[in-house]
Amino acid sequence: MQQANLNALFDPKSIAIIGASPDDQKIGGRPLSYLQKYGYEGVIYPINPKYEEMNGLKCFPDIQAVKAEIDLAIIALPKSVVLDTFKKCVDQKVRSVIIFSAGFAEIDEEGKQLQDEISRLAKQNHVSVLGPNCLGMFNVSKGVYGTFSTIIEDEKPLLSNIGFVSQSGAFGSHVFTLARQHHIGFSYFVATGNECDVDVADCIQFLAQDPGTDVIACYIEGTKDGDKLIEALKLARKNGKPVIALKVGRTNVGMKAALSHTGSLVGADEVFDTVFKQYGVYRAETIEEFLDVTYAASKLPFQKGNKVAVFTVSGGVGIMLADQLSANGLTLPETPEPVKQKLREILPIAGVQNPIDTTAQISYMPTLLEDFMDSVLSSGEFDSTVIFLGFAGLKLDSLADRITTLKAMKERYKDIPQIVVTINSKESRKMFSDAGLCVIDDPSRAVTVSKALHFFANRAEPDHEETYLPVKEDVFGSSTLLTEYGSKRILKQYAIPITEEKLARTAEEAIQFATEIGYPIVLKGMSPQILHKTDKGLVVLNLIDREAVRIEFKKLQKIIEETDGAEFEGVLVQEMLRKDSVEMVVGSKKDPIFGQIVMVGMGGIYIELLKDVSMRKAPVSTTEAEKMIQELQASAILQSYRGKPPYDVEELSHLISQFSHFIVAHEEKLLEVDLNPVMVFEKGHGIKVADGLMTLEKQVIHS
Amino acid sequence: MQQANLNALFDPKSIAIIGASPDDQKIGGRPLSYLQKYGYEGVIYPINPKYEEMNGLKCFPDIQAVKAEIDLAIIALPKSVVLDTFKKCVDQKVRSVIIFSAGFAEIDEEGKQLQDEISRLAKQNHVSVLGPNCLGMFNVSKGVYGTFSTIIEDEKPLLSNIGFVSQSGAFGSHVFTLARQHHIGFSYFVATGNECDVDVADCIQFLAQDPGTDVIACYIEGTKDGDKLIEALKLARKNGKPVIALKVGRTNVGMKAALSHTGSLVGADEVFDTVFKQYGVYRAETIEEFLDVTYAASKLPFQKGNKVAVFTVSGGVGIMLADQLSANGLTLPETPEPVKQKLREILPIAGVQNPIDTTAQISYMPTLLEDFMDSVLSSGEFDSTVIFLGFAGLKLDSLADRITTLKAMKERYKDIPQIVVTINSKESRKMFSDAGLCVIDDPSRAVTVSKALHFFANRAEPDHEETYLPVKEDVFGSSTLLTEYGSKRILKQYAIPITEEKLARTAEEAIQFATEIGYPIVLKGMSPQILHKTDKGLVVLNLIDREAVRIEFKKLQKIIEETDGAEFEGVLVQEMLRKDSVEMVVGSKKDPIFGQIVMVGMGGIYIELLKDVSMRKAPVSTTEAEKMIQELQASAILQSYRGKPPYDVEELSHLISQFSHFIVAHEEKLLEVDLNPVMVFEKGHGIKVADGLMTLEKQVIHS
């Protein structure tokens, strides 16, 4: 996507409306009406052969008749003529196009082909296209209204520093309207429709560079280009702009609904979740959370630490806040003793311990709130404040006093986000907004906001991505599936510690290797056609002498030879590992949208049942790998526990990082890798991959 | 609590206000003002020596001057004169009293003593007392206003079928005001204050029998009398009234805040949680959830099954709803094929698969919603509906049509709860309310409501509580701690299966017992002073002959004899259990509020880290015990898994039930019991308690 043409789309100096109408209830009439009534300062070219003049503007019969540069053309015509019209735009060197019309890929195969043709022409001629089947966009500060949505028909949208991009027009409209009701505005509103050209990633990238946008909110159902999305998210992070995403299709049921809605591949949700976490995107679960966090991030500084001071007019709500803050990883440090003393002097009946109960006296003592807040915040012990004012928002006369106090506190403690909670009326929202304050309707929602502001302050920094040299030769040969032996031989080339082992072709060889490695020994029968060795009886543990090795070798060979279609590769002679280790699983899978994903989990049946797995897009640094391990529910088991020494998390992290670079080096070839188990020994004693399996792409087109 | 006196408190025929004032801004002026302006029809006796007449009523110098029966006296006087005044009320045979005044147990020891004296007099004389330190109560249908709260000063409260009791006045006020803003009323509002006499359980019990109350909402910080609370909850369940609780103090941090707020014992939160679940109380986490669920339960039928039909004007919101419903244990069955056909005929571009996308055409086709809903619901395949209408609530002209449709559907499908979602204005809320419909502001909150309505339809039925005869003799002797041997001998008397074992005093005895039981054998050194046998090396597994038994016996005896203060009880000779079992833990603890609690969890270190435990107040039936097992995160491990046969859940449930009756039979004596591990074998092969430990009360006062 060329930035220049995105500028033409989002900030056009001239706009042609093809299918324009003087009737502001018609699809082609609305953008014209909005542009005129909400103060667009560029040139408008209404295009409609039935008119010579429209709303005081010269009207043109077709786009060729416009003898001037056109930044943006809006196509508001029936599907049947869209392609022809678009071609004319291309001929006319129009720099960007919005297609409102529906009936394309969302309907049937014919529609899809039509859309693909538009897409092809767009890319070939470097025209930015938004749509088709889309509600359009608007840019509030420049008065650009390329939309037929009715959500702005009654009132001009409010301007703010929030850019909002939505893959669903109806969803976007709903959020916009809810925001309007809460006196929250936007810099840009974009509905991307079928995304034949401009997609949600392009919009994020644009907004990440837009000086009028500080916060980016997006509604996502899926994406075709994972790398582009990641690049956009990285840019937003680099530019210090928080991104809040509401992504649907989390469960299988939702995923199915999403497939039927979009008709296209949407990608595994858990991988989206991983990517969001990894690139600092706050994922909201509900519309309320989406809007609350977006709005708070647009008003408040990030929250540097997790120490929250709560001021409340209700002791009960204070307890509830204490519960919910601590359940969300935030803390309520004790009020420092000298501060308690001060508070008691101000109001003896106050609850001076954090959560601090101002009691209903707040209504009778005009300076109480300021005195309390100032005493507490000046201690320097707190990173954030939640101020619960009950239903003060409905008592407008006393509210003005409260707002004066809060504004003064906000200015005095600029780095401490101040989350005010009260029941609101339309009037109180406006008062808070005019004062530049952030007000939330419900205490629990304030907790979420505090958590999110802390999340943004701690967004993962870009990895220091040390890269391992990929092995140039094709290490995989022509196989599509490697045995444990084959897999581990390759891992060894990447300096990944594996069990000491050798492949024996004969019983004599096996005995010789066993002697070299040292008893007790493990034997494993190898056949590329047999994946589940244990189920087939192909693993024998704890052999202690030559004779046992000889007998078992024969048995293993026989099992394989008697299995239909199974090829006998040999018998793996392997050291017997000590028991005093924790079994982990490290693996990878290739996601169709985002590529190689690295995973770590605890081994064993319980954890498999509990799905306790941590993922990242590969590669990851050792530091990031350590974070992955810490995220596991059961990670405590690796730490010092019940007097046992801790396990070698350092070497495990190192393995995950190494392995993640390995899978990226063979991005195309590797479908799935499963190192299971990886034995983790006591700290200082390292790790060992005890078993491993790789599934490969059948055919790789080498570029 | 005598029901008669609660009636006098909540529905008095005559009210004396001690400290009455003609100034409606004074504490003693407000109840008088409210009673008069909101239409109380009983007799009011203002009491204040400064007046002969007040607001048109005869005023009395003191309560003795009232020569008539008084159902309720309100004390609105300074703390210093409260006790004397209360005594006069008692002398005057006043049947109930509300004490607004603060300064009692919530302040200091002196205040507590004063309060205890009031409490004692109240019980002795059968006077119901609400307070002290309380905001009071009101009964909307009878116009009884025993409160000085300002929340009703501007408007008369709305009447509904919701009874609300709160242990915090400020919290209650906040919820009341929020409800008022959402056009939600109440039958009763009660703030219980310091609960010197009437507590939250009494209020629930009263509301459970009140014909004007169908739903009971309560805010709880703690209780002193667990049994009374349980009785009240049972009565509400029996009378078919849902109870919704917001209980604070869930986390340690919150618990600490609660302690500092109430100054009294609040009880372990996890036990409250258990009791709520067990007696069918819906526990809300946030104020929004609390109010949404209460309101929905007051308007809608319970939801018999988990099959939800979603109608949505936004495909995106439909996907989000599908995600969230299925994450909450609800399902979105496919639209039946003939119904799909019908929907397609009505609107070809509709998304006919559930979640059903009506598209924006709903605004242009007046009968679309009714046609769609009728087609889908008449299939009989759905238990509930969520209807997402976007911002229809802000478009009042078209909203009237929608409401007509929804009302018709509600009447046609009486048993199917209909949860309407839209952004609302004050006007739209009133329209929905007048039509008897339930409207929620946010789609995710509708999911919670659907889950709650399903919860109420499936509230656990009262256990069929088969009781085991408690052993009359004191099975525990004088010990305060029993060894494994002592503990298991007692369990055996209750028909709980334990390992085959005998206590040997000498090595020769041990050899003889080993022969009887059969090798291999386990030896465990027993001493009441040594709790952690394994740590001390007192457990020896897998002994296979006489000689081994002889040697190990001596070793174990020596370890105990060389341990300071340890008494040698003997060596337990125990069968060696097969390995093909799952290790579980069954235990109990005595909660100071609710008594004996029975617990089950998975054994092993992972589960200990994950705190995967399920609890109930004892005793439980076998059916309930099976539910406990199913609630465990890792319960799948007991089922047929990866081709393995399932484990004996039936016998495990039986054990839990038996054990739960055992601990109740010894309620006073047993502090804590830990059966760990309980080995669960394959289905049909039963279970065995392999180890067990009991901690006993030091002194039990036998009643």
pLDDT score of B266 more than 70: no
pLDDT score of B437 more than 90: yes
pLDDT score of A467 more than 90: no
SS3 labels along A221-289: CCCCCHHHHHHHHHHHHHCCCCEEEEECCCCHHHHHHHHHHHCCCCCCHHHHHHHHHHCCEEECCCHHH
Residue A659 · residue A498 · CB < 8 Å: no
- The tokens of A538 are what? 């192909």
* Average pLDDT of the residues of chain B: 92
- The pLDDT score that the predictor gives to residue B637 is 84
Contact flag A314-B170 (C-beta cutoff 8 Å)? yes
The shortest CB-CB distance from A315 to any of B151, B170, B394 is to B170
The pLDDT confidence band at residue B700, using thresholds 50, 70 and 90, is very low
CA dihedral angle for residue A661, residue A667, residue A673, residue A678, rounded to 10 degrees: 0
A345-A349-A350 Cα angle (round to 5): 80
Contacts of B266 (CB under 8 A, 6+ apart): B221, B222, B249, B255, B258, B259
Helix, strand or coil for residue B110? Answer: helix
Nearest-Cα distance to chain A for B186, in Å, is 18
Contact flag A287-B171 (C-beta cutoff 8 Å)? no
- The pLDDT score that the predictor gives to residue B311 is 98
* DSSP output for A371-404: HHHHHHHTTS--SEEEEE-TTGGG-HHHHHHHHH
Interface A-B: count of C-beta contacts within 8 A: 221
Residue B168 · residue A315 · CB < 8 Å: yes
What is the C-alpha separation between A188 and A207, in angstroms, rounded?
A: 8
Give residue for tokens 């909400």.
A38
Contact flag B107-A317 (C-beta cutoff 8 Å)? no
The shortest CB-CB distance from B316 to any of A107, A219, A445 is to A219
The pLDDT confidence band at residue B535, using thresholds 50, 70 and 90, is confident
Contact flag B442-A323 (C-beta cutoff 8 Å)? no
- The pLDDT score that the predictor gives to residue A606 is 64
Contact flag A251-B604 (C-beta cutoff 8 Å)? no
pLDDT score of A633 more than 80: yes
Buried b (16+ CB within 10 A) or exposed e, B493-524: ebebbbbebbbbeebebbbbbbeebeeebbbb
Contact flag A353-B324 (C-beta cutoff 8 Å)? no
pLDDT per residue as tens digits for the range B460-473 = 666 555 555 555 56
Contact flag B318-A221 (C-beta cutoff 8 Å)? no
The pLDDT confidence band at residue B702, using thresholds 50, 70 and 90, is very low
CA-nearest residue to A178 within chain B is: B423
Q: Is the ipTM of this complex over 0.85?
A: yes
Instruction: Select the residue from B79, B270, B320, B607 to test the A interface by mutation, using most A Cβ atoms within 10 A.
Output: B320
Average confidence (pLDDT) over B15-26: 97
pLDDT score of A624 more than 80: yes
B673-B675-B678 Cα angle (round to 5): 165
- The pLDDT score that the predictor gives to residue A701 is 43
pLDDT score of B374 more than 70: yes
Q: Which amino acid is at B683?
A: K
CA-nearest residue to A257 within chain B is: B319
Average confidence (pLDDT) over A375-393: 96
Measured in whole angstroms, the distance separating CA B170 from the mean position of its chain's CA atoms is 22
The shortest CB-CB distance from B287 to any of A353, A442, A636 is to A442
Contact flag B390-A331 (C-beta cutoff 8 Å)? no
pLDDT score of A381 more than 90: yes
Contact flag B318-A219 (C-beta cutoff 8 Å)? no
Domain B1-134 shares a fold with domain B581-696: no
- The pLDDT score that the predictor gives to residue A578 is 77
Contact flag B319-A390 (C-beta cutoff 8 Å)? no
A510-A515-A520 Cα angle (round to 5): 90
What is the C-alpha separation between A639 and A635, in angstroms, rounded?
A: 7
Cβ-Cβ contacts under 8 Å, B390 against chain A: 170, 173-174, 177
Residue A45 · residue A61 · CB < 8 Å: no
The shortest CB-CB distance from A316 to any of B248, B325, B602 is to B248
Average confidence (pLDDT) over B269-291: 95
Q: What is the CA radius of gyration of chain A?
A: 31
Structural domain spans, chain A: 1-134, 300-457, 500-575, 581-696
CA-nearest residue to A107 within chain B is: B349
Nearest CA to B446 among B519, B385, B502, B396? B385
Of A111-120, A441-450, B1-10, B271-280, the least confident: B1-10
Cβ-Cβ contacts under 8 Å, B326 against chain A: 251-254
A436-A442-A443 Cα angle (round to 5): 95
Nearest-Cα distance to chain B for A322, in Å, is 5
Which superfamily does CATH assign the domain made up of B500-575 to? ATP-grasp fold, A domain (3.30.1490.20)
pLDDT per residue as tens digits for the range B172-204 = 999 999 999 999 999 999 999 999 999 999 999
Contact flag B390-A173 (C-beta cutoff 8 Å)? yes
CB burial of residue A619 (10 Å; 0-12, 13-18, 19+): buried
Contact flag A260-B353 (C-beta cutoff 8 Å)? yes
pLDDT score of B354 more than 90: yes
- The pLDDT score that the predictor gives to residue A254 is 77
CA-nearest residue to A256 within chain B is: B319
CA-nearest residue to B607 within chain A is: A606
Nearest-Cα distance to chain A for B181, in Å, is 9
pLDDT per residue as tens digits for the range A541-585 = 989 999 999 999 999 999 999 999 899 999 999 999 877 788 999
CATH classification for the domain delimited by A1-134, as one of 3.30.450.20, 3.40.640.10, 3.40.50.720, 3.40.50.10470: 3.40.50.720
Contact flag A315-B168 (C-beta cutoff 8 Å)? yes
CA-nearest residue to B355 within chain A is: A257
Contact flag A606-B636 (C-beta cutoff 8 Å)? no
Cβ-Cβ contacts under 8 Å, A133 against chain B: none
Cβ-Cβ contacts under 8 Å, A181 against chain B: 394, 423
What is the C-alpha separation between A681 and A689, in angstroms, rounded?
A: 11
Nearest-Cα distance to chain A for B440, in Å, is 13
Higher pLDDT, A66 or B605: A66
Cβ-Cβ contacts under 8 Å, B632 against chain A: none
Cβ-Cβ contacts under 8 Å, B248 against chain A: 316, 319-320, 323
- The pLDDT score that the predictor gives to residue A702 is 41
CB burial of residue B50 (10 Å; 0-12, 13-18, 19+): exposed
Helices vs strands, H then E, count in chain B: 22, 30
What is the C-alpha separation between A204 and A202, in angstroms, rounded?
A: 6
Cβ-Cβ contacts under 8 Å, B389 against chain A: none
The pLDDT confidence band at residue B559, using thresholds 50, 70 and 90, is very high
CA-nearest residue to B639 within chain A is: A609
- The pLDDT score that the predictor gives to residue A609 is 72
* Partners of B60 in beta bridges: B47
- The pLDDT score that the predictor gives to residue A387 is 98
* Fold category of B300-457 in CATH: Rossmann fold (3.40.50)
pLDDT per residue as tens digits for the range B133-143 = 999 999 999 99
Residue A318 · residue A389 · CB < 8 Å: no
CA dihedral angle for residue B258, residue B261, residue B263, residue B268, rounded to 10 degrees: -10
Q: Which CATH class is domain A581-696?
A: alpha beta
- The pLDDT score that the predictor gives to residue B262 is 55
SS3 labels along B580-633: CCEEEEEEEEEECCCEEEEEEEECCHHHHHHCCEEEEECCCCHHHHHHHHHHCC
The shortest CB-CB distance from B323 to any of A249, A287, A442 is to A249
* Partners of A524 in beta bridges: A539, A572
Per-residue CA distances from A485 to A488, A565, A570 (Å): 5, 19, 9
| % of chain B with per-residue pLDDT over 90 | 80
Contact flag A390-B442 (C-beta cutoff 8 Å)? no
Category of A267 on φ-ψ map: left (φ > 0), alpha (ψ -120 to 50) or beta = left
CA-nearest residue to B604 within chain A is: A606
Helices (H), B442-496: 443-457, 484-493
Contact flag A641-B605 (C-beta cutoff 8 Å)? yes
Cβ-Cβ contacts under 8 Å, A315 against chain B: 168, 170-171, 261
pLDDT per residue as tens digits for the range A676-697 = 999 999 999 999 999 998 988 8
